[in-house]
């Protein structure tokens, strides 16, 4: 399968790493050495099966009309906030478009990717999208596109929340007297280990939490602060609502 990847930023590069062993991939990015700088650099006879759009949403209005020459390919967009119907104005009413929301852990094949297909797509297109993103982690089809902003808030932005938690744990350890490098290693491994148990065990997270929490112990004391009046739960809800609202504001 011939794949044309448009954009070699953080997400485009992460997807390329996961897909390169399995597919023939051509990359167009004017700002990256070693890539085609524009469509003019591609052979006149080049015809991709799939075009993956991985550029910033604000660039689409200028860039996408030039890709109408590949209108018979399957277009997969990972641009946040841009609805699939918008692509029809650039590529034609019959364009086959899938919208996907991956997240940064696709870089290590541990991503979470949700997708939808427009009405022009075929069952074969469904398989292509599912198989491509299964190579870089979990992939699931959404019931309808209106859920994309919620997915963006939860899993699209979600890794940043976990990275910030790691920063906070690391700094707290330092303030308790631990060597900075020790605190860094142990904060990271604590998150890695907790994530691994969630992946490998069927146990619900609430039960895993209870297993760590001895009556009258240290964990109970810490959770008494974090869970007081549901403040952490409410904080996350407020954070996701803010991300959800911003996703709606950015929609094109």
Give the pLDDT confidence score for residue 30 in this predicted structure.
Answer: 87
Torsion of CA 108, 109, 110, 113, to 10 degrees: 130
The CA distance from 141 to 101, in Å, is 10
pLDDT tens, position by position, 13-71: 999 988 988 888 999 998 888 888 888 899 989 999 999 999 988 889 999 999 999 99
* Shared fold status for 2-143 and 158-250: no
pLDDT score recorded for residue 252: 63
What is the Cα–Cα distance from 242 to 244, expressed in whole angstroms? 5
* 250: confidence class by pLDDT, cuts 50, 70, 90: confident
**176: nearest Cα among 128, 222, 234:** 222
**What CA–CA distance (Å, rounded) separates 252 from 57?**
8
- Residue extents of the structural domains in the chain: 2-143, 158-250
Cα pseudo-dihedral 173, 175, 179, 185, rounded to 10: 30
Mean pLDDT across the stretch 166-174?
A: 98
Which distant-in-sequence residues (6+ apart) come within 8 Å of 188 by Cβ?
166, 170
Between CA 230 and CA 216 the distance in angstroms is 20
Task: Render the burial of 187-203: b for 16+ CB within 10 Å, e for the rest.
Answer: beeeeeeeeeeeeeeee
Distance of CA 166 to the CA centre of its chain: 19
Give the per-residue pLDDT at 172: 98
Q: What is the pLDDT of residues 106-159, one digit of tens each?
A: 999 999 999 999 999 999 999 999 999 999 999 999 999 999 999 999 999 999
Q: Which CATH superfamily is domain 158-250 in?
A: ProC C-terminal domain-like (1.10.3730.10)
180-223 confidence digits (pLDDT tens): 999 999 999 999 999 999 999 999 999 999 999 999 999 999 99
Q: Among candidates 116, 78, 72, 114, which has minimal Cα distance to 96?
A: 72
Q: What is the CATH number of domain 2-143?
A: 3.40.50.720
Regarding pTM above 0.85, the answer is yes
């Amino acid at each position: 399968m011939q794949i044309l990847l448009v954009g070699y930023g953080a997400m485009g590069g992460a997807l390329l790493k996961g897909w390169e062993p399995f597919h023939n991939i051509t990359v167009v990015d004017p700002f990256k050495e070693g890539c085609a700088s524009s469509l003019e650099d591609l052979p006149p006879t080049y015809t991709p099966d799939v075009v993956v759009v991985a550029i910033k949403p604000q660039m689409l209005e200028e860039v996408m009309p030039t890709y109408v020459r590949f209108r018979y390919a399957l277009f997969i967009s990972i641009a946040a906030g841009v609805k699939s119907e918008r692509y029809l104005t650039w590529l034609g009413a019959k364009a086959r478009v899938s919208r996907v929301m991956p997240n940064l852990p696709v870089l290590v094949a541990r991503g979470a990717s949700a997708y939808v297909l427009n009405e022009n797509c075929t069952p074969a297109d469904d398989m292509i999208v599912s198989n491509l993103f299964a190579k870089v982690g979990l992939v699931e089809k959404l019931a309808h596109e209106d859920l994309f902003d919620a997915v963006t808030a939860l899993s699209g932005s979600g890794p940043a929340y976990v990275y910030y938690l790691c920063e906070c744990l690391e700094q707290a350890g330092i303030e308790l007297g631990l060597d900075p490098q020790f605190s860094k290693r142990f904060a990271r491994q604590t998150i890695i280990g907790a994530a691994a148990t969630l992946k490998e065990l069927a146990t619900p997270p609430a039960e895993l939490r209870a297993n760590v929490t001895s009556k009258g112990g240290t964990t109970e004391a810490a959770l008494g602060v974090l869970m007081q009046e549901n403040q952490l739960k409410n904080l996350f809800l407020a954070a996701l609502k803010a991300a959800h609202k911003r996703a709606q504001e950015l929609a094109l």
